């Protein structure tokens, strides 16, 4: 679909190397928009953009936006960014990523996935089911789908499956035909003043779903349950392991190779349906819930049981979601994006259930000082299903905040509250040295965090 719209505009993305900005810029380029962008460093996302002939500037400088007529800014960009300051000086229109995303998908039938955790995997699972149909949706995801080797794909139909990020509040502007709310948790409190503010925005998002669409809400989540009391028009379906769920998960099996469950569907005015033995190549209850959300939407829009089961069973996964990266002396090493206490607990619960007899070592790199300060106690309690924690320095992600507490005392809190052995390392070299000296036999080592920990884990084979 080549378009003539905005032909004279040059759209500049500040922070184009972030996964969400990356996907949006690729889709806009594919639609015929003139797109460019800047970021502080080269990364895999930047390489993908260059292959698609998108002009990239490394480093944020005033001159990068000389020819730009519209600015799209990542939620990670601070107000003192020189390009953002210059754009305001030039009185250029400046849009948040979520606002631009809302404009781009305003003419399509959208399945919008939001929530504090599980968005990327749920979006990817939906894309996996749709890939088995003749519907060819546009996909805009917050992670790289292994099947696409990309986070975005421009489809030929008028369907769009997209992840909407709640970090800066702009997700409410994304128009949805169908929406999924996975859960609501204490996250991004640097933007929201309170949990109440966050919940109000989710209510607004759910209420915006049109009468001919539907919201799908997981009622295993306490905060989601509270929301339902404040939604006057009951234009939603519920899912979960809660027996009151309209898409009810039961007969669960969790094994090393796959998880399996049945899905009982009881909707008002419709015949009851049972989808038996749904298999997913993923671990953990969180992924069973994510798969159920995808199956619920697919079933509601008329995709057959057979295709739903095939799409889920043949799911190829998402980068940085419990991906095995190498084996060393019989120990398996994994990479995971978990960077919030809830995510850490869910991943560890899933691994412990499937690998009952294996020792679990978690290499944790806290992400953002603001998050660590806000959830310090919750973090200290989140490693109970691990045997050992290797604690790395905080990845500050550009924040210029003071920690305000002793990091060694935080380490002691983890040991005490999660009842684990704990070791501190300062960099990937110390981590490699520790692994070389201490790790062997049938163990599971998981690198966790949203910062540079993925690179640390992937460079380990060269260092050990």
Q: Which residues are catalytic, by number?
A: 119-120, 163
Torsional class of 169: left (φ above 0), alpha (ψ -120 to 50), beta (otherwise): left
Query: Distance (Å, rounded) from C-alpha 39 to C-alpha 305?
Result: 44
Residues 294, 129: contact at Cβ < 8 Å? yes
Residues in a beta bridge with 15: none
Distance of CA 252 to the CA centre of its chain: 24
Q: How far is CA 299 from CA 271, 277, 326, in A?
A: 13, 16, 37
Token pair for residue 27?
């889709």
For the record, the structure tokens of 130 come out as: 């749709």
d(CA 48, CA 43): 9
How far apart (Å, rounded) are the C-alpha atoms in residues 344 and 361?
A: 12
C-beta separation of 97 from 75 below 8 A: yes
Look at the block and give the residue holding tokens 């929530």: 115
CB neighbour list of residue 192: distance below 8 Å, 6 or more residues apart:
169, 198, 201
């Amino acid at each position: 679909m080549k378009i003539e719209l905005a032909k004279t505009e040059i759209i500049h993305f500040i922070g184009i190397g972030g996964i969400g900005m990356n996907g949006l810029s690729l889709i806009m380029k594919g639609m015929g928009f003139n797109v460019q962008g800047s970021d502080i460093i080269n990364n895999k996302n930047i390489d993908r953009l260059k292959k698609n002939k998108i002009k990239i500037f490394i480093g944020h400088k005033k001159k990068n936006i000389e020819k730009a007529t519209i600015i799209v800014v990542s939620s990670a960009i601070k107000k003192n960014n020189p390009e953002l300051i210059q754009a305001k000086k030039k009185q250029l229109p400046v849009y948040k990523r979520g606002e631009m995303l809302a404009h781009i998908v305003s003419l399509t039938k959208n399945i919008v996935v939001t929530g504090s955790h599980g968005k990327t995997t749920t979006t990817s699972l939906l894309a996996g089911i749709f890939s088995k149909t003749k519907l060819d949706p546009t996909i805009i995801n917050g992670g790289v789908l292994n099947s696409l080797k990309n986070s975005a794909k421009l489809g030929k139909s008028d369907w769009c499956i997209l992840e909407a990020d709640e970090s800066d509040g702009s997700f409410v502007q994304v128009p949805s035909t169908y929406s999924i709310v996975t859960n609501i948790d204490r996250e991004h409190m640097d933007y929201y003043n309170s949990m109440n503010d966050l919940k109000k925005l989710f209510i607004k998002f759910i209420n915006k779903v049109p009468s001919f669409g539907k919201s799908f809400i997981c009622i295993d989540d306490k905060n989601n349950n509270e929301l339902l009391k404040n939604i006057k028009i009951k234009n939603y379906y519920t899912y979960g392991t809660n027996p009151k769920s309209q898409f009810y998960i039961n007969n669960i099996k969790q094994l090393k190779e796959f998880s399996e469950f049945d899905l009982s569907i009881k909707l008002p005015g419709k015949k009851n349906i049972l989808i038996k033995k749904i298999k997913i190549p993923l671990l953990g209850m969180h992924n069973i819930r994510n798969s159920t959300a995808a199956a619920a939407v697919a079933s509601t829009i008329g995709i057959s049981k057979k295709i739903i089961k095939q799409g889920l069973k043949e799911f190829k996964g998402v980068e940085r979601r419990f991906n095995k990266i190498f084996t060393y002396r019989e120990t398996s090493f994994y990479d995971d994006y978990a960077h919030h206490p809830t995510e850490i607990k869910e991943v560890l619960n899933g691994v412990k259930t499937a690998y009952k007899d294996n020792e679990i070592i978690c290499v944790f790199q806290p992400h953002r000082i603001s998050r660590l300060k806000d959830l310090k106690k919750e973090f200290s309690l989140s490693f109970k299903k691990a045997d050992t924690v290797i604690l790395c320095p905080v990845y500050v992600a550009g924040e210029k905040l003071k920690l305000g507490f002793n990091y060694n005392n935080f380490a002691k809190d983890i040991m005490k509250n999660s009842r684990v052995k704990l070791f501190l390392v300062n960099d990937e070299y110390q981590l490699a040295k520790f692994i070389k000296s201490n790790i062997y036999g049938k163990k599971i080592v998981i690198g966790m965090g949203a910062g540079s920990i993925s690179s640390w884990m992937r460079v380990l084979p060269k260092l050990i």
